[in-house]
Structures are given as C-alpha cells and as structure tokens.
Structure 1
Amino acid sequence: MDTQVADTLLGSLLDGRYRIRGRVARGGMATVYTATDERLERTVAVKIIHPSQAPEARARTAGFMERFTDEAKTIARLTHPNVVAVYDQGVHAGLPYLVMEYVRGRTLRDVLAERRRLNPDEALAIMEQMLAAVAAAHRAGLVHRDVKPENVLVAEAPTGGAANLVDSVVKVADFGLARAVEASADEGDGSQLMATVAYVAPELVTDGHADPRTDVYAAGIVLFEMLTGRVPYDGDRPVEVAWQHVDRDVPAPSTLVPGLPRVLDDLVARATRRDPGARPTDAGALLAEVQVARDDLGNPNNSHTAVLRRVTDDAPAVAQPTMVVAAVQPSERPAWARLPEGGPQRPHRRRAAPESDLRARLTALWAQVAAGSRGRLSIAAAVVALGLLAAVGGWWVGVGRYTVAPQLVSLTKAEAQAQADRAGFTITYAQPRYDETVPRDSVVAQSPTSAAKILKGGTITLTLSLGPERFPVPDVVGKDFELAEADLTSANLVVVKGSSRYDDNLPAGVVVATNPKVGTEVKPGTKITLVLSKGKAPISVPNLVGKNVNEARTALAQLNLVPVETYKDSDKPKDEILGQSPATGAGVEKGAQVRLDVSKGPPQVIVPRVVDLPCPQAKQQLEGQGFAVTMQFNPNGIVRFQNPPENSPVPPNTTITLGCL
C-alpha cells in the first residue's frame, strides 16, 4: 500500500474565496499551490510563506506583516507581459500568502535538467524576455535579488510549438518576496543571505548591498548556465561558492563549449564583472546589448560579429570573426522587445557614369580596333578565348565544382566526422531529436541528403539522434484530477481515469496513485491510469490488540468486518490478539478483511519421569525445570506415581503432584 504524507492545506478555503486544489512546488521560503478562485471561477497560484519563516520574521520585527503587504502592493502594480502577475494577498492561519497568475509550463531549471544546455539562439531568446521583466522592475524601483532558473517560468509557445524555446513565453516570478523576508533578517543578526549562492553578486557577499546591477550579475550567471549547462563555481559549502564570486572572474563560456561565438563570451563577461561599476547599469542596459547580439548572430549576410562594448562608449566595436547562429529577426519579436528602427547609415555608392557616355566610348574603341587586319584577328582570337572561358566557366559553375554528398545517416558521430574529413567536407550539427530506431549519438538525418549535389569542400549539416524518447512519469499524487490531467497531457501522455479507492490521508477527487508508478520511464503517448481517492472509508477499525480472539470476533461482526486469524507462538496467554492490520482507526469498507495475529500461548514442555526416585531428589529435579511440585503422603519416601504422567506436554510452571510412599 502506498504511503502519502497529508498536506493539511489541501482542500482549505482561504479568505472565503480561494480553494486549495494541489501542491505545485516547495521552495526555501514558501510553498506554491494551485487554487480555484471561486468568485471569478479561474485557476490561480497561491504562494504561502512557510511556518518556519513567518514566526521568525514576526519575532524579529513587528513590521514584517506590514512590509510583506507593502511589497505585495508594489508587485501588483508591476504590469508587464513577462512578469507573473499578483492578484491578491492575505493571511491564513497566521501565514501571509500571495495570489498570483497561474502559468502552465516549466521552470527554466526543469528545461536545463532535461536539455543540460541550450543553443545560443534559444538562450538569447529566453534572456531577452527575462531581462525585459527585470528591467520593468528596475524602472519601478524594485530589485529582484534572487534571479535564478527556478524563478524563470517557460510557458507553452503561443504558436503551440512546445519544443521551440525561441517562441516560448518567459515569465519571471518572486519579485520582492525575498526582499520582504530579508528586510526582517536585516533587523536581526543580518547574516542571512537570501540570494542563491550560485548566482550571488560579489557585493552581496562582501557588504550585503544590492541594486539593479546585482540582478545584472545574476542574469549573466543564468546566461552562462544556459550556454554551458553548469554554473561557474561549485564547492562543498555554500560559503566557499559565495567567496569564489568575490575572488575569481567568471570564465568564458567558449572555454567549456568550444565553438561558441566570441560575442557571447563578451556578453557574459560584461554582465559578470566583479566591480559593479563595470557592468551595465541595469537590466534595461543589458537587454539592449543582448538584442544587439541577437541581431548580429542572426544576420545571415554577416560572417563577422561585432564584440559588444558599453552602450555609452564612443569608440566603434572591434569586429571579431565567429560562427553565424540562426536567430529570430527583430521584426519577429514582440513590440516591447524591438530595438528602435533605423541604425548606422551605410556609405552611398559612387554614382555610375551616364549610359550615353559609356556607349559612345565603346563605339569609338571598337572602330579603332576593327580598322586593321591585325585588329580583326585579335578580335577573333579574343572571341574564341572568351568562348572557351565561357564554356569552361559554365562547366565549372554548373558541374565541375560540385560532387555528391556521402551517405552519413545511421553512422555514429565519430564515424560520420571521419568520413566527412576524408572527403574534405565540413560538418555542422542541427538540433538533435529523439528517434525510436536510431541509437543515441548516431546520425538520423543529413542535409544535403546522400547522393545530392554539393560544393566540393562544402558543409553538411547532421542531425544526431537522442535515442528513444523516455521520461519519468510526473509526480501528480496529491493533485486534483483536472490539474494532474493537464500536467500529464502537457508531457505528451494519455490520461485514463481508473478506479477509485478509499484513502485515510487524501480528500475525495485527489490522485492517490498512478499506473505506471510515478518515476517509471515511459515514451510519449503512454497511457497513464490515475487512481482517485474516495476520501476516508466509512468504517473505522477498532483497537483489538490485547483482547481475546472471541471478543475480537464479536466486535468485528458488529461492524460487518471479516476477521482473518493467524496463530503465532508467543509468551502471551493463549487466544490473545497480538497485532492487527489495518491499524486502529484506519478507514475500511463494509465486508473488508481485518488480519489478526493470535497467540498460541506459551510453548509447552515435556514432563520428565521421576517415578522410583527419592521424593526430595524428584522435587529438586522438577523445580529445576520450572515446574511447581506438591508431595502427598511421605515427603521422604519413594515416588510411586506422578500427575501429569511422564512425557506429557504441559505449559511452563505447571504443578506436578508426586505420590511418595
């Protein structure tokens, strides 16, 4: 039987309006639930401060609740398409809570856990929307203080392409929540560092100071992680990681992922300078640099990308060669993310000479050359030479410079690279994809296809297989059926409503178990059967331990329950109940079986023969084996009979009667 820890908030009604339906996530300061706004009939997210946070904050300062309320009001006024909206706030059972927009999607942390790292165009697309949200907060006078992948939500793309991160909608959460709790800590011992150490800015470690440039530093670390699949520093203790931000420069992403454009190295370096004054002044300034980087990397006519410099520098940026990365063009971005129209003016070309002047000069030259026989011979030779050049050139342009692409599909990555190198081709890699038949890291597709025409020494783009797509069944136990169905459907799984069963811990309508079980590796399209709770069963099992088996039978019969008895050796009295299952107070249905462990009584011992022994000797022998002894007639005589007789099985401490004559 599965064991589920009950959450006392499930099913609760907050402020007579918000019905808690399921738990979504639990963080360091608060737990997030899904709830139904029964007034407006919509699904919302409710973030409730942990009991361990709120009492401590109130003990340190009486202004905690007032500060939390003020922060909630400030965040609610922060309206932006990339900011998780705050609808309401209140207090339940002494714990402050926020009511927020419910975003159906995953955190950036979940995306990185699945993909490990992102392509440059995906990383910059997410970075743009994330910085747009933080920039809106900076303009409103707010500092986020805890920018990290866990607080960045990646929702389903408006186009419906769940796998296309470039088109996904990004929203940033938790503005101001860390600040409200941190303010209470500042009035205490001042030692609490609210930012996650992997993304903490040096100035927060050294003097606890935070301003918009602190968020810029954290955003730079997030970009580093998206590009490389890891954070720049790690250590055995959080304090060790924090001080590495103070003592060391963040390494260039290309040192971990060779081939990344230089512009991305410069972008990360600018955002993560240890000196706050050397960073962009706020998220808006960094956003402008990210947009310039996307424009440069997405320009198919530009084989060089300019290295980013400070926005305020007058000197032109130094051009550095790098690879071209496909990206969304500025016209495809939402209006709030576009750069101003226009740009640097290109130099005008020199005006061509008038067509009439050129024709007159060519006519005079032709007349001069054709006037003599040698001139005409030269013209004929030139025409023949031009014809040969045209023929050779046409052959070269149409046929000679081409060859056929080799067959690389189904080869491993190493084999395909070696074969392409031998043939003089350059290999690039497209986004890998899952395939049920092609093994992982083998070629599943190529462009151009095998036997197709390709320039000698040209480039072949390979798509590698990720192998069969398998992922664990999401944990939806404890969620309402509707929310569990939405989560499983978004994971490309098919939901089937199975049977229901009683559960002592979960309310009716909540998922009790799944088949296959949570965590089982499945492929897309697998049917997941959900077992729902019917609430606690109507009959409570009584306490039967210590009672006689006949008394237990009577009690169970009165409740229409069926006893199933198992007898076991025990030093308890015979027929005494040793244990029961289900336990006392568990809910069961009518006709359910209750397993009873019943004592067989103490193990019996065999009575030895003492007939014909002197009575004192017989008594000593029997008492030494744990029997009680009574003697009749002559205590100093010879034993003529005994009761119980020899070899009789009897319980320990049984009294043996000896007849002595």
Structure 2
Amino acid sequence: MDTQVADTLLGSLIDGRYRIRGRVARGGMATVYTATDERLGRTVAVKIIHPTQAPAAQARTAGFLGRFTDEAKTIARLTHPNVVAVYDQGTHSGLPYLVMEYVRGRTLRDVLAERRRLNPEEALAIAEQMLAAIAAAHRSGLVHRDVKPENVLVAEAPTGGVANLVDSVVKVADFGLARAVEASGDEGSQLMATVAYVPPELVTDGHADPRSDVYSAGIVLFEMLTGRVPYDGGRPVDVAWQHVDRDVPAPSTLVPGLPRVLDELVARATRRDPGARPTDAGALLAEVQVARDDLGNQSTHTAVLPPVADEATPMSQPTMVVAAVRPAERPAWARMSEQGQPPHRRRAAPQGGNPAGWLAVLRTRFTGDARSRTGAIAAVVVLALVVALAGWWFGVGRYTVAPELVSLTKAEAQAQATRGGFTLRYAEPRYDEKTPRDGVVAQDPGPAGRILKGGEITLTLSLGPERFPLPDVVGKEFALAEADLVNLKLVVARGTARYDDNLPEGVVVATDPKVGAEVRPGTNVTVVLSKGKAPISVPSLVGRNVNEARTILAQLGLVPVETYKDSDKPKDEVLAQSPADGAGVEKGAQVKLDVSKGPPQVVVPRVIDLPCPQAKQQLEAQGFPVNVQFNPNGIVRFQAPGENSQVPPGTAVTIGCL
C-alpha cells in the first residue's frame, strides 16, 4: 500500500501574503512550493528551510536568523537575467524562507535525465548563460558553492517551448540558500556542494572562492557533453577524494568525435590546482564564448557519437546518434534589436558565415562616405581600447600585492589587513620555536604575492615553542617506552643497565632527563634498563662489632667502607648499613657501614683537698660512681682517675680520704 503524508503547508497563508498552492521539489536543505502573492497577484516560488535544519543551525549559532536575513538581502540586490530573483524573506513557524521568482520550465537535471547528453552547441549555449549568472555573483563578492544541474533551470524560451535548448532561457538558483546556510556557521556547509561537483580545495581544507565555482561549472559542462559525471564510488567520501587525487578525463575519451576545443575548455576549468583555473566565472565565460565562436566558424558538419544506452534500443543492435553542429548564434531573444537604429545606419549583414561577404561589407564602408569610414575607424579604436582595458583588468588591474604579515601578532595582522581591505581566515595553528604564541608564522598568498583586491589571506598562527613534561615510562618494557617517547618526537638512547631489586630484567628503571622534566621535540632521552636482582644479598650487619662485620663481608666478596660517628652505642658497634640487608649487589660492591665511636668522653673534676662527703656528692652529681677508701669523713688526699682525665660516662672514681 502506498501511503502519502499530507503536507500541512499546502493551502496555508504565509506572512498574510503568500498562499501556498503546491509543492514543486524537496531537497536536502529546503522544500520549494509554488505560491500566489495575494498582494501583487503573481505566482512566486517559496523555499522553506526544513524543520530538521533550522533548529540545529540556530542551536549552534545564536545569530542564525539574523545572518540568514542579511544574506537574503545581499542576494536580493543581485539582479541579472540569468539569476533567479529573490523578492522577499522571513520566518514562518520559526523556519526561515525565501520568496523567489517562479521559473516555468525544468531543471538541467531533468533535461539530462531525458536526453542523456547534449550536443556541443546546446551544452555551450547553456554553459554561457549559467556562467553569466555566476559571474554576476562573483562581481558582487558572492560564491555559489553548490553549482550543479539541480540548481540550473531551463525555462521556456520566448519563442515557446524548451525543445530547442539553444534558444532556451537558463537561470541559476539557490545563491540565497547556499550563502545563507554558509553564514549560519554550520560546519557541514563547508562540504555543502554535491560530491559529484565538489572542488578539491573544498574537500581538503573547506575553502571556497570564485575558482571553486569554476571547477563545479566545468564538471557540469563535462556531464552535459558526456551524459555522466567523471567519478563515481560506493561512498560519497570516495567520490570526493577522487576530485583531489585524479584529473578529470577529456570528454572525447568517453564520446569520440567531440572537438578538441571542448576537451581543452573542460581541462582548463577543472584543474586540481585552483591557481591554474580561470580566475572566476567571468574569465571562464569568455573562454566559453571563444569556444562557441570557434565551433561556429567551422563549416557545418555531422559528428558521429557512440550509442546511448536506452531501454527501447537493445545494446546488441548498434545505433548511431547524429548531432548537427551548427554555427554558433546568440538566441533571438538575446540579440540587440536594430529597430532603434536610424535607417541609414542599418546594413544588411551577409547571410551565413561567408567570410567574403563580411569583407565586402567592410570594403563598402571604407570606400563609402567619410562618415562611415570615420565611424568604422573609431569603432576599431574603441574595440581595441576595450580589449586592452579588459586584458589589463583581468590580467593585472584587479590584482594587488599581499602585505607582509609574517612575524606580526594576530592583532597587528588583523589591523594591517583591514587597512588594506583584505579579509583573513586562519589555518590550523602550529608550534614554532622562534615565534611567540599568536604570532603569524605563515601566510597564503605570501608577502608581495599576487592577490585580488579585497581578497582573502590565510594566516597560520604560532602556538609558541612546543614544551611538555617527560612522560613516566619507568616500569615499562623498552619497546613500549621507546614507542611512547618517539611518538612525542624525542630521540631515545639506551644507557648502562643496572641491577634493581624491584623491577625485572628489561624494564625501565630510570631516565635522563628525569620523569616530569620539561622537554621539547628532538630532546635526547637516555633510558636505563634493569638487569634484575643482583646475585649477592647483603647480610644484616647492624648491631654487630665492626670486626665481625668485616669478616662476614670479606667472605661474600664485598668491600666494607666504614664511617665512624659519635653514638651512645658501644664503641665499634655497627650503627647502620647501605645497601640495606637483603638488597642485591654484585661481587666487589661496596657496603657502607656507620660505626660507633662509643659514648662521648667526660672530664673528671678535681676533688683533692675537699672534704670527703663534699667530694663524693660532687662526683655523683656528674654521673660518676664513687668508691671511698679509709676515713669517709676525712679530707681527700688522692683520686683515680686523676683530675682532668677524659673517661667514658659512668666511669667509677676512687677517692682516698684521711
């Protein structure tokens, strides 16, 4: 069962003025309706942004509606016979919309779906009007960004119908939508163009300028001539990158018999390097007009084209499509009328493309009256001046020299670019050892480079010198530690391995510089690996006599290194050791011992000639035990140790009293 969802906008009145009558088309960003402008009584087209698009854009950019309005006003000022005019803009139920000229006809996509491909005369006639529209936009500083057959409308010609494509009116649409969505700040807008027509620079860096539209127009011309786009693939991203990696093939390789001038025209427009393409749509338009004239100057001939696959023509039956290439003419509706010229100025033009007829006309004018001769000479002079001025403008006049912004700060660069009338965009910043943060390290075009007046300069800003802490790789195997350090652009070297009691053999035990030290790319980092636990375990020596400790160490092949220190411990007792007991060491390793010098010495005071009780009391007060001999109440006549002797604390003193 076929289920169709009703469109709630049908029959509704927008802004009290536009009555929606029917839906014309639905695209990726918007839906197009026909509507009646009840105020002016005319049919218009109303393009309304999808509900799924506008809220997302508004959420990302608070000023979406304001920028949409500004861009719509800019497009409305773009008036050209080949541009779909924008009449009005506004919002309906929170959704932005544009009111545009309603064009009766079909899209170029519809024409190609029916005709498969066009003959060279028709393709160039459509391309000429399409480029005239885009050139008008470029002169106004706008880039379309989405040139494709769906946005090219083939309207009914003034002569009626669209069967004769040479006389059809071509109009380009969607300038307003493409530009307005771009202004919304939507990240996806950078690849807004359909991938079949996307220029390489939009794929690689998201940048588009008039040369991007030239590329897309070249792809459209290729499709009109061959009936297919140059690249296809399973995924859109695959198609997009083919534009970056491959040159567009010559149309004659797919359709033998096409004139060489068309191959050259497509090749010029679709160069992968933007600098090798025509500078804008106006420059490409001039080349298309030259190509039309070249084809027109050739005698009428018949080109035999390969068969086009068709459901009604089996591929087993060879068919031939004959395309008549006629002299290039402007459509009748596009030629200037002679009705406004005085009768004596009208001259019969030679019929056909006979050069002899034109020479006869020129001869008649030069040999006729002086007024005609003077007018002819003046016309030639004016034409020469116009050609010279146009050549100067397209080749030199509209270009200027890019200012030198390298080494300036961001603020200084912005100020200087503003003074010169240039706009700036910023590439991905990068680290630089010599330029401080937010200084300009590169620009495109370079200093004194050629650039359009009011053009765009791309700046690369500095992040300053790159510095970062050395990561902790202790405990990792060498291969993993090396990978971590090399990823940071550090130079890794192995140091002398050493034994470690805690880490197994082959893992990192230390680095030089140390972990956490600030380094920069290119710094040399020495990595010390573990040899595992050493073969000899250091015994416990603390509390032993130093002589006993020496004997034990000698038996193990270790060398004692002794340091004597004051201590309350007995003399020659080991106070501490390094390495600690249980640590692994190699044979011949040193073991540091802290050895006690014994308690500090004290001086025995003089007590001779003192009363025995007084002498005893004085010695005991200083910590000396006292032995009294003879008369405990007598006078001290001798003492041992003697006065001023240095003895260990607690040494007993003997006194003799008589």
Q: Which structure has the larger Rg?
A: 2
Q: TM-score, normalised by structure 2?
A: 0.47
